Structure 1
Amino acid sequence: MKRIVILCLIAIGVCAGSAVAAENTIKIGVLYNLTGPMAVIDQPGFHGMELAQDVINSEGGVLGKKISLIVSDCRSNLDATADAASTLAGEKGIVAVSGLNDTDYAIAAAPAVTTKNMVFLTSGATMQNLPYMYGKYFFMTAFGDNMQARAVAKFAKRRLNTTRCFVGTNISSEFAKTLSKYFKRRYQKYGGKVVKEDWFNTGDATYPLPKEGDNPDLFFLSTIPPDVAKYVTEVRAAGFEQPIASGDGFDTPGLLNIPQEYAHSIYFATHVAFDNPAPEVQDFVERYEKMFGVTPESGFAALGYDSVMLLAKAITKAGSTDPEAIRASLAETKEFRGVTGEISYPEGVRVPDKSVDIVRFSNGTVSFVEQIAPN
Structure 2
Amino acid sequence: MALLASSTTFADEPIVLGALYNSTGQQAGLDIPSAQGARLAVDQTNKHGGVLNRQIVLKIENGQSKPDVVKARTAALLASSPAPVALFGLSDTDLVLASAPLAAKANRVFLTSGATSPLLPAEVPEYLYLACFGDNVQAAAAAEWAHGDGQARKALVLYDSSHEYTRLLQKYFRERFTQLGGEIADERSFTSDTLEQTLEQFPNVDVVFLSAEVPADIQKAVRMIRSSGLDCPIVGGDSFDSAGLWEGSDAKCIYYTTHAYLGENNPNPRVVAFRKAFAAAYPDATPDAFTALGYDATRLLVRAIEQSQTADPEDIRRALAGIHRFEGVTGTLSYPKGSRIPTKSVSLIEVTGGKLRLVREVMPKGVPAP
TM over 0.5: yes
Matched-pair contact (CA < 8 Å) for 1:336–1:343: yes
**Aligned residue number for residue 67 of structure 2:** 78
**What is the total number of aligned residue pairs between the two structures?**
353
**Does residue 52 of the first structure (1) align with residue 41 of the second (2)?**
yes
SS at match of 2:60: strand
**Structure 1 residue runs without a partner (length 5+):** 1-19
**Aligned residue number for residue 42 of structure 1:** 31
Alignment of 1:158-177 (within 5 A): 158-177=148-167
1:21 to 1:286, Cα distance in 2 relative to 1, 3 A: farther
Cα distance between partner residues in 2 of 1:171 and 1:21 = 50
SS at match of 1:268: strand
More helix by share: 1
**Does residue 64 of the first structure (1) align with residue 14 of the second (2)?**
no
**Aligned residue number for residue 337 of structure 1:** 327
2:131 to 116, 120, 141: 141
**Structure 2 residue runs without a partner (length 5+):** 1-8, 366-370
Shift of 1:183: 0.3
SS at match of 2:85: strand
Cα distance between partner residues in 1 of 2:270 and 2:197 = 40
Alignment of 1:81-92 (within 5 A): 81-92=70-81
Q: Residues 116-141 of structure 1: CA distance to partner in whole angstroms, max 9, x if unpaired? A: 11000000000011011101111000
1:296 to 1:190, Cα distance in 2 relative to 1, 3 A: farther
1:301 to 282, 291, 310: 291
2:262 to 274, 280, 283: 274
Matched-pair contact (CA < 8 Å) for 1:232–1:258: no
Q: Which runs of 4+ in 1 moved over 4 A?
A: 20-23
1:141 to 1:296, Cα distance in 2 relative to 1, 3 A: farther
TM value normalised by structure 1:
0.90
Larger Rg computed on CA atoms:
1
Alignment of 1:190-339 (within 5 A): 190-204=180-194, 206=196, 208-209=198-199, 211=201, 214-226=203-215, 227-256=217-246, 259-260=249-250, 263-275=251-263, 276-294=266-284, 296-339=286-329
Cα distance between partner residues in 1 of 2:243 and 2:312 = 38
1:109 to 99, 114, 117: 99
1:297 to 1:201, Cα distance in 2 relative to 1, 3 A: farther
**Does residue 129 of the first structure (1) align with residue 115 of the second (2)?**
no
Shift of 1:87: 1.5
Question: Percent identity over the alignment?
Answer: 37
Alignment of 1:177-196 (within 5 A): 177-196=167-186
Cα distance between partner residues in 1 of 2:290 and 2:79 = 27
Name whichever of 114-123 and 86-95 sits farther off: 86-95
Matched-pair contact (CA < 8 Å) for 2:275–2:287: no
Alignment of 1:95-106 (within 5 A): 95-106=85-96
1:330 to 1:268, Cα distance in 2 relative to 1, 3 A: same
TM value normalised by structure 2:
0.91
Shift of 1:207: 5.9
SS at match of 1:358: strand
The one-letter amino acid paired with 1:324 is: E
The one-letter amino acid paired with 1:318 is: S
**Does residue 351 of the first structure (1) align with residue 338 of the second (2)?**
no
SS at match of 1:126: coil
The one-letter amino acid paired with 1:221 is: L
SS at match of 1:305: helix
**Aligned residue number for residue 368 of structure 2:** none
**Aligned residue number for residue 120 of structure 1:** 110
Matched-pair contact (CA < 8 Å) for 1:121–1:140: yes
The one-letter amino acid paired with 2:320 is: L
SS at match of 1:46: helix
The one-letter amino acid paired with 1:270 is: T
1:356 to 1:207, Cα distance in 2 relative to 1, 3 A: farther
Shift of 1:237: 2.4
Matched-pair contact (CA < 8 Å) for 1:29–1:70: yes
1:284 to 1:70, Cα distance in 2 relative to 1, 3 A: same
Name whichever of 226-235 and 152-161 sits farther off: 226-235
**Aligned residue number for residue 15 of structure 2:** 26
SS at match of 1:172: coil
Matched-pair contact (CA < 8 Å) for 1:242–1:265: yes
